[in-house]
Every structure is written in C-alpha cells, then in structure tokens.
Chains A and B, each alone.
Chain A
Amino acid sequence: MKTKIAAIGEKDIMLIFKAIGADVHPITEYSQAASKIKKLAKEGYGIIFITENIASELDQLIKSYSDQFLPSIVVIPGLGKRNNYALKRLRQAIIKAVGIDVIPEK
C-alpha cells in the first residue's frame, strides 16, 4: 500500500521537507495545527512529521492516533528551545504498558 508523507511545522523547517518531496503545511498558529492533523489523517497520509513545539501543544490529539495503524506521527526537533516531547511520549507509553518507568533518567 502506498502512502504519502506530510510535514507540519514552522515555515523555516518546512522548506527542507519540501525538498524531499513531502507535502508541507507551514502553520503560524497552534490552533491551525489540530484541524490540519485531523484532515491529513483522514486523507490517508501514512507519516506525518510534526515539530516538537507544536506537538507538545497537541498532546491529546497525537495520543489519540497512537493506537491506530496509520498515520504514524513523528515528532522532530525544531529550531530553538528543546522540550524532549518525543522522549516523554516514549516514556509514557512504557509506563502504560509495564506499569513502571524503565527508562532511566539522565
């Protein structure tokens, strides 16, 4: 099954994704991102790249896709401040499954 790739994020970062042929959706406000993700998921995009800052705002929405086969939402670090959203999410998944935190804190 063929699937498409999309990227959502700040305009500066989107340019590089455009170069590889992904469908890019630059956004300026977080409120746009939620509806965009929903739309992309419905249209059958397989992989959606999203920058960390936006992802942490849309935590609930992203979690709601975690039990579905498609799409796979991949968090990428953005420019500027880091918030380790992806690692936090990984940790939460483990806690959910195992009941304890097995990833040691740095």
Chain B
Amino acid sequence: MAVETKLGAYICTGCDIGKSVDIEALEKLCTDELKIPVCKTHEKLCATDALKMIQDDIKSEELNRVIIAGCSPRVKTKEFTFDNGAMADRCVLREHVAWILEPNDEDTQMAAEDYLRMSAARMRATELPEANIEEIDKTVLVVGGGMSGMRTALSTANLSYDVVIVEKEDNLGGWARKFTKVFPKQAPYKDLADSGVDELISQVEAHDKITIYKSSTIKKIEGEPGKFEVELEGASDGVKFKIGSIVLASGWKPYDPEKLGHLGYGKSNVVTNVQVEEMTSNGGIKRPSDGQVPKSVAFIQCAGSRDQDHLPYCSAVCCRVSLKQATYIKEAYPDTLVYILYKDIRSPGQYEEFYKNVQENEGVCLTKGEVVRVDSTAGDGVEIELEDTLFGENVIVQADMLVLASGMVPTTKVEDLTEGETETAEALSDDNPADSEDKEDANTGASAEAGARILNLTYRKGTDLPTLKYGFPDSHYICFPYETLRTGIYAAGAVRAPMDLASADNDAYGAGLKAIQALELTAKGQAVHPRAGDETFPDFFLQRCTQCKRCTEECPFGTLDEDEKGTPEPHPNRCRRCGICMGACPERIVSFKDYSVHIIGEMIKSLEVPDEEDEKPRALAFMCENDAIPSLDIAAAHRLKISPFVRIIPLRCLGSMNIVWIADALSVGIDGAILIGCKHGDDYQCHFVKGSELANTRMENVREKLKQLVLEEERVQITELALSEWKKVPEVLNNFMDDVDAAGPNPYKGF
C-alpha cells in the first residue's frame, strides 16, 4: 500500500494552456474535488523562480508528490526532477489538451480535468521506487580467446576490471594464428598485413588482471548479471568462480565443405579457402593429388554463401580472402594463372584499393558469372562452366586446382538437428511442450537456446544467447547493435555477424564497453538499455501466484526461472523493466512501485464518465511511451487536432498492458479503448522485442470476452504507429472514436 502522500499541484498557464482552458476551474478542481492541499499556478512553470517556488513548497509543506500540469515529460525533464524524495507526475495539459484539442471548449476543459484526476490518482497510488543495491562481482567473463575475445579482455582489463578468458583450444589466438597474412590495415590499403596476433597473445597472457583457462569449456553458468556463478569442464574441470557480465566471442566455423559437392568438393584437387590458408603456412600451396605447384588455380566465390540451399547470407569476407590468397599464389608462383569466378566482388570502403591492386595483376583474371557445372578433367584438373557472364555466353574455365571460397557459420549455429535431437532440444528449451509459442518464435532463437551449448546458462528459457536468423546472436536493432536478449551478455566478433579480423578486433571494444556498462548500472541497482537508469523492478506477490507460467514464458529476456511447482523465481538483474510480466499476469500480482495494474486501474477509475444522455462518449488510448507518445507530441506541436473524448494513458511498453484495465474501463462506463504500439512481426520495432506482439495476442482474448458480454468488438482495438507517422495520429484516434460512436454508449454505463 502507498505510504501517506502529501500532494502538491502546479499548473502552468504558458504555452497556450492558459489560453485554452479555464485555469481557475482547474485550481478549484484540485482543491475541492481532488483535495490537493497545495495548488498553485504560474505563467511559466519551468522558469527559475517557479522551480524555486516548487522546491520551497516541497521543503516547507513536506510534499512528497507533485503534479506538474504543463508540458510533456519529454521536455524539461531535468527541471522537473526534484530531490528530497518528492516524486513528480507530468500531467500533460500542453500536448494532450491545449495543443491538440479545440481551445476554450467545454470538452477540452473536461479533458484537462480528467488528466488532473488521473495524475492525482496516480500520485496517490504510487510508491517511491528504491533501487535494489547489492554487492556484485565486477569480473568480465570472455568466452573464446580469439581476436575479439582477447581484445575484449585486454581493453577491459586495462580499465582495471578483472577478466576471465575461457578458451576451448589449448592456446589463444583462434583463427588469427592460422592466417599467414590479413587484409591491408592502413593506407594506402594495397599490401597484406600481419595480424599482430602474437603480440596480442603475449599482452593478454602477461596481464595481471586476466585469468586464462585453456582447453576448457563452460559446464554451466547460474545466476544473473553481477552474480553469475560459472563452472568449467575440460582441463579445468570443476573450477568455479563468480563473474558479473559476459562477452561471447566464440567465433565462427567454416561452412561444411561436404555439402558443396555440386561445386566439386570431393573431386581431386578441389579444396576450400581454409585449406589454402593451412597450406600457405605449411610449406605452400600445392596440388593435393601430386604435391605439384599448380599452373592455374580457380576460385569459386560464394561457395555456399548467398545460396538459398546453403547460407542465404553473404559471408562478407570471402571476396577479400580470395584476393588475398591470389596474392599468396602470385607471390610464390608468378607464372601460375589465377581465376576468380564471382557474382559480385565485395570489397567495401578502402578495401577497394586492395581489390584494384590485385585486379591490376595480369595473372589474375576475375570473371563474373554463375557456376553451372564443375567436372574433373584428365590430369586431375577441374573444368568449370559459368553462365550469365558479361560475354553474354557461357564461359568454360580449366584449372589445375580449384578453391571454394566457403563462408562463415557462427559457432552458435546448431547444425541440422536430427528429428530426435530436435525433440530433445525443444524439451530442453521448454518444460511445457504443449505450449507451442516458444517453438514458433524464430526471433528468440529456439534452436540456439536448445543446442549451441556454449554458455550453458541455467536459464529456464534456454542455455545460450538467443540468435537471429541463421544462428547469429546479433542485435535486431540498427540503432543499438549490441542489444541481445540476455541482460549483461553481449556478443563480439564473427559469432555476432560475419566479419573479418580487423572488424572483429574493433567490435570487441564495443562489446567490452557494454559488458562493463552492465556491471556499473547493475551495481547501482539500475536497468540497462533501453531503460538505462531505471531503478524500479518488478515485485511478485507470490502468495497469490497460480503457477500459470505466463510471466516466465512471455518475458523476452529470460528474467524468470521457476521452481518445481512452476512458481516464478525472479532475477531482478536480468530484468529490463518493460512490464511484460505485469501485462501477462492474470492474477495481477506483478507490480513496480511506480507502475502497476493497481495504479493504472486507479487512474481509469478516477475519470469522470458523463451520463448516456450527455452524448459525450469516453474512450481510452493506451499508448507506448517509446514511439506512439512522442508521435502524439509531435502531432500536438503541429497543432493537429484529435477527438476530445479520448484520454491518453502512456505505457512503458504495450506488452505491459494488462487486460483487466479494459474490464476496469468498461465497468466504469467508458465506451472503448485503443492500444497504440510499435510494429511487430519479423521487422519488429518494439524495443522490448515482443511487447506489441503479445498485446495483439492478448487482444484476441479481449475480443472473446467482449463477445461473451454481448459488446461490440469495435470498442476495443489495437493498432501500430511508428514515430514518423505522427500525421496519422488524428486519423487513428478519430476513426476509432467513429467506431465507438457507431457502437453507441457502453450499455454498462451507470451500473
């Protein structure tokens, strides 16, 4: 229950508010109806003297809640943040009333009054959030000792963080140690470079903040950010230690060449680019059949990559790898002819210079085309036929040796599970196979959860970092490339996306930064992105839990484990504070101190609902505060107009929408409700991954309920609105109000 609140209300009359509504009437409402002990107005509440007035009142009147009735919380945020335990609610009279409704209209005044009622209800129901601050371990675990793993370790250890590297091989260095040369690093970008891996290995091995476990893998990781417990197996079997955050830098594996039979793999003198690299560092490139120097070598690009039957994505490095290997060949055997058979040469940025440099070599012939046939020839050579060439006719190339430029597969990719394995995997990823939601869910990467078994997390939602399409645990967000679905666990290097060594090296810095950021925020009891700094966390009133498991299943971040009975076990440091669990819970037992089913319910119940004969319908718009609310703010700034009968309620995420609010609304006589959230589907824009999708699913249930109550389905709607679509705000709300009007007054009005 809320502690005793002492409330103050401050009404701004600037920015057209005073010109649009009757301020005196609002003051009277605050004092008489809402019984707010301190109520003042000011022509510019954000001005220094006004802020001082509020601060003085907080002190002298011992206010612990203040209503700032003025502009949107998206502006003047710091100004209206008060110390001394006084919590502020921004009652949005500017963007939700003065700017977006007709000025000096009876309905506009009623809207302003309702927003004050909701603010007062919210302030009276809310509690002051208190951060959950615990002693945490600030060690970073780096999984994989290749280029990106070592760079992550070194760059975070240099900032005095303890780092543990777990490497499954018996030495550090990964692929970088196996490459003779790497792509040009510096201007003029023409010459191959050394990887610098040996220097990096010695720095990492000598660093006193870095502990390395070689020939070891992870048996299991329990816990949550700041409080993970790791157990190893392999050479360090049974070693246990505590860590705070994790960087997954487990790298890539070559695409299985056995699957490239159609391109000649298995025939004499057909090798992969990885084998060429091995040959180069072991005595030079020779024909496997007779150990002779090849007089001609052909490379087939996109061997497996950009192929719907193999790897639909582009492996991003193979063009440059072949250009590099052509350079090896020309340097060792100037007379050997090299053919590179390609679809597109992809040498981005300054690597174009490298490409041009190789292209200028007369003994290197680049030919565009699609390979249609690869055959052996007499003398253990190969013959390749290309179509769609620039000559307009098919081209036939003969060579002593063929190199398949095969692509990169992330180590998180689970290869071709057999049917039995798939079933086991599903059982592992979901204790309740009858519920099919997880299985349909490509975006949370059921396969990686089930099978990659690199991190071996003891999370109820699976053992590993969920992956996107093709097995990469990459971010879905263009603006936030280090986002993952497991808090405090980030991916770096070629496991995250196909990339070259220089990019993996660079990528490691970003992942390292995110890993220490998770530690620092967790240490303060704060959320990480996208609600960085939020000190609230969900409380579970477990005495009333019915073990329905909806919260554990629906949390996109795997926050909740569960005991044998199915009771959720929260791990607050894994939580992103979206409130999806709160929306999921049919028992309404999940609450944040300042955001709960109860608080919003109180806000809804505080609204004044006119009688049927007044012909003033009322409807609610539950809007996502990340996109839909800013969109409304922009529409308001452009003075677009909406129906005055709608009341806006911002939500942390549409996924936090608990359908009981619809029942609350209908039972107090409100005629309808619309939910406005972010795009869902494959290219979802929801910042909490599944929030808007889950809201849609829940709406199906609402429609069923409406039918049972013989209420029109149109009364409750859900729609998507991108931030950039602010011009559509009036259309969306007004069309909805038209539907509500058509349905007529809520028959439960007045009951």
Answer whether A and B are interacting partners. Answer: no
Binding site for A on B (CB under 8 A): none
